Amino acid sequence: MGREVAIEPVAVPAGRAAAVAGRTWFRDQVGESGCAVYRLARTGENYLYLKVAGAETLSDLVDEMARLRWLGAYLPVPLLHGFGLEAGGGWMLTGRLPGRTAYQLLEADPVAAPALAESLARFLRRLHAIPAERCPFNADHALRLAAAKDRMDAGLVEEDEFDDARLGQSAQVVWDEMLAAMPAALDRVVTHGDFSLDNLLVVDGEVIGCIDLGRVGIADPWQDLAILWHSLAEFGDDAAAAMLQAYGIALDSAKLDFHLRLDEFF
């Protein structure tokens, strides 16, 4: 399906060599974390996933490891098998969650989108119900705006990958319009930060866990709702509407637009 490609094994730290020996390696071609992600398969055993960061993405890997360890006390997340820092980089080895991603399921059966959307919403409510005062990580709009501005000033925003609604606009235009229409009040809950169909695992129609946790932190709930709404819209308006109804919230066009614009910078 073009989502991964078989490769030759790569060098790993000596302490992890036994854990990955005899496994078949596949390189992920979908994730946008900036790290290299490998699926390691061995007959009769569960997959392992190895994520490798260079110097430029090392802080992202550290962020994900810390959030994975914390969120595991509240929701199903991959088991951490090992983490290490080296000169100029680092690595993280995790287990797999059962099931298939929500995207894989909907790609195979788009008609199931409204029903699956309700399960996605129920899981998101569980995440947002975690006591915010217990979360040590900040991911609010002020922090993301500062990071977005840094990326824009450094010329790192990929304008040719903007959504259709903004394709052809410059990053500066999107930035100016986003600030002009920023909602006056934003709430604070524990968010995933990238609550997309590729990051949610499903078994028998129910979401059982989430992956790619590097952006977990306190933020407005529409940070997650907007990304999920946009992901589901690919499979029809009914799916996006069913998600909002199951979550128990009305469409807030101002917050939806703000968070979708902000996400363009990452």
Q: Hey, which residues are catalytic here?
A: 194
Distance CA 198, CA 104 (A): 8
SS3 144: helix
Distance CA 117, CA 185 (A): 27
SS3 173: helix
Q: Taking the C-alpha atoms of 154, 159, 162 and 166 in order, what is their torsion angle to the nearest 10 degrees? A: 110
Compute the radius of gyration of the chain from its Cα atoms: 19
Instruction: Give the DSSP H/E element, type plus range, for residue 225.
Output: helix 222-233
Lookup result for tokens 């088991």: 79
- Is residue 131 packed enough to be buried (19+ CB in 10 Å), middle (13-18) or exposed (0-12)? exposed
CA neighbor of 262 nearest in space, from 185, 135, 152, 168: 152
Q: CB under 8 Å to 17, separation ≥6 — which residues?
A: none
Task: Work out the end-to-end distance of the chain between its first and last CA atoms, rounded to an integer number of angstroms.
Answer: 25
Find how far residue 208's CA is from the centre of its chain: 15
Structure tokens at 83: 């983490």
Distance CA 263, CA 266 (A): 6
SS3 155: coil
